[in-house]
Amino acid sequence: MKESRQRTIEWILSQPEGQSTEFKRSVSGSLNTVIVAFANSGGGHILVGVDDDGSMIGVSNINDQISKVESIARNCDPPIPVKVGSHQRNGKKILLVEVPDGEDKPYSCSLGFYLRSGATSQKMTRNEIIDFLYSVGQVKYEEKLCKGFRYSEDFDEEAFRYFLITAGISSVDLSTEDILTTLGVISRKDSNLVFNNAGVLFFGKEPTRFLRHAMVDCILFQGNDKVDILDRKELKGNLVENVKQAMIFLKKHLSLKYEIKGLHRKEILELPEEALRESVLNAVMHRDYYFDSANITVEIYRDRVEISDPGGLPPGMNPEDLGKKSIRRNKLIADLFHRMGEVEKIGSGIGRIRRAVAEVGLPEPEITITTFYTIVFERPGIPTPQVTPQVTPQVTPQVKKVLEACKEPRSRDDIQHILGLSDRQHLRKTYILPALETGWLAMTIPDKPRSSKQRYVTTEKGRKALEEAMI
């Protein structure tokens, strides 16, 4: 353990100050701002007894200095559990302060709230603090009161009645106001009823008048790229209605086949309706509604369907957790859908999506997570480009880069970065598929081509082609 810590210190000393590294000559009063900035921004290391240029100055009274650091961390709000150790080199002792990525953000000190920005710790303004509270889930956007919404002028009685019927709620002994209060979508302020954002999204006549980014954008493209639009519909209704209309749009533009049994004819969508519906539901339930610069999108291309929502995964959720556990960003919205029987209480949506596509023999949908959460369904029956010996030499430099890069197993993102490409589908169809078809490239998990753990590796045939300068 001691050797590991010494190696860590040596490595830190070899780097300049940055997002996760700070050098301090001594334990000064400003150390608390650095500690809270790291705790709010992913964690970091502070070396005490080191000049700004990385040269060692050293500190005296090590035990006393350690006590001071621990006291400063305890006095942060809430206290931050730092680890402090010492290191000696060339007769000089320094301190290593390890600050974890905080689990109870936001953290503050006597001087305020701080975030790490590059090599500096920046004090947050009032608006930045508000934004930060929303981003770490300490304030729920769905619970924020919508002061411009007026009851009953903006209240949709029909949407409310539909909810009661679907949820199996009897209104015989309760008033509308009592039910809305029980559901958690209104509060009483003096003598007025004030709706929160979840209430507006479910029971507002025109939710986008108050929450403009609550729209769902449905688009049909002519080809495989975002170029020519054949049809577009902007859905501006309540959440339940938007899910219905998104499914109507999908069924309108996806292919149908018919299965006739006796006197009955069954319509079968080219992609499982259950999987598509679950994906749209996930988007409206789990999107980050505080992220107001983008909408949910449902996009149909010639070769795929993409359903995307802003905000990525909620805090505390990792990509490997998908299908295994559930953390609901919008608990109230999810609960209202659950009351209607639209969704299971536990997080089994991803599992149902995967099962639905597997049952009809389709590839597992691809999920990408950045500042957006996107699920991609490959449309069946779309012909892929045929690769012939005459075509292959025309892409020689690109294929050569792929094969050279994949002498070690690489993900599609790795290959895309190496080639400097921005379009994932272009990468797949123009570079990866030809290399796979010729047998120069192979998948490490061939039975699950859409697996998030999929890697591509150059085959012996591909290595031989490189050696013989065939490409």
Average pLDDT over residues 279-301: 90
Distance from C-alpha of 143 to C-alpha of 200, rounded to nearest angstrom: 11
Cα–Cα dist 457/445, whole Å: 11
Common-topology check for domains 215-329+337-378 and 392-467: no
**Topology of domain 215-329+337-378, per CATH?**
Heat Shock Protein 90 (3.30.565)
List the CATH code of the domain at 2-135: 3.30.950.30
Q: Could you give the CA distance from residue 444 to residue 454 in angstroms, rounded to a whole number?
A: 6
pLDDT tier for residue 264 given thresholds of 50, 70 and 90: low
Residue 147 has pLDDT above 50, yes or no: yes
Element (H, E) at 167: helix 157-167
pLDDT band at 108 (very low <50, low <70, confident <90, very high): very high
For residue 166, give the nearest of 298, 343, 359 by alpha carbon. Answer: 343
> Across residues 331-342, what is the average pLDDT?
89
CATH 1.10.10.10 fits 392-467, yes or no: yes
Residues 6+ apart with CB under 8 A from 165: none
Q: What is the pLDDT of residue 431?
A: 77
Q: How much is the average pLDDT of 90-105?
A: 89
Helices (H), 287-363: 331-339, 349-359
Which position has the token pair 């599992």?
Answer: 351
Instruction: Output the pLDDT for position 273.
Output: 93
Residue 249 has pLDDT above 60, yes or no: yes
**Which of residues 464 and 114 earns the better pLDDT score?**
114
In the chain, domain spans: 2-135, 143-213, 215-329+337-378, 392-467
Instruction: Of 117, 146, 285, 279, give the one whose Cα is nearest residue 205.
Output: 146
| 415 and 431 Cβ atoms separated by less than 8 Å | yes
Q: Is 216 helix (H, G, I), strand (E, B) or coil?
A: strand
263 pLDDT tier (thresholds 50, 70, 90): low
User: Rounded to whole angstroms, how far apart are CA atoms 206 and 363?
Assistant: 38
Give pLDDT, residue 389: 37
pLDDT at 305 over 90: yes
Q: pLDDT confidence of 209, banded at 50, 70, 90? A: very high
- Does the pLDDT value for residue 22 go beyond 70? yes
Task: Give, in degrees to the nearest 5, the angle at Cα 292 between 291 and 296.
Answer: 80
Residue 395, pLDDT score: 42
Rounded Cα gap, residues 433 and 410, in angstroms: 15
Residue 280: per-residue pLDDT: 96
Mean pLDDT of the chain: 85
Element (H, E) at 22: strand 21-24
**Tens digits of residue pLDDT in 362-394:** 999 999 988 899 999 999 865 444 333 333 333
User: What is the pLDDT, as a whole number, of residue 390?
Assistant: 37
Q: Which two tokens stand for residue 426?
A: 């272009």
pLDDT one-digit tens code per residue, 390-441: 333 334 566 778 888 899 999 988 888 888 777 777 777 777 877 887 788 8
pLDDT above 90: residue 326: no
Sequence-separated (6 or more) residues with CB below 8 Å from residue 256: 267, 268, 269, 270
Q: 201-205, 325-329, 346-350 — which one is most confidently predicted on average?
A: 201-205
The H or E element containing residue 221 is: strand 216-221
25 has a pLDDT exceeding 70? yes
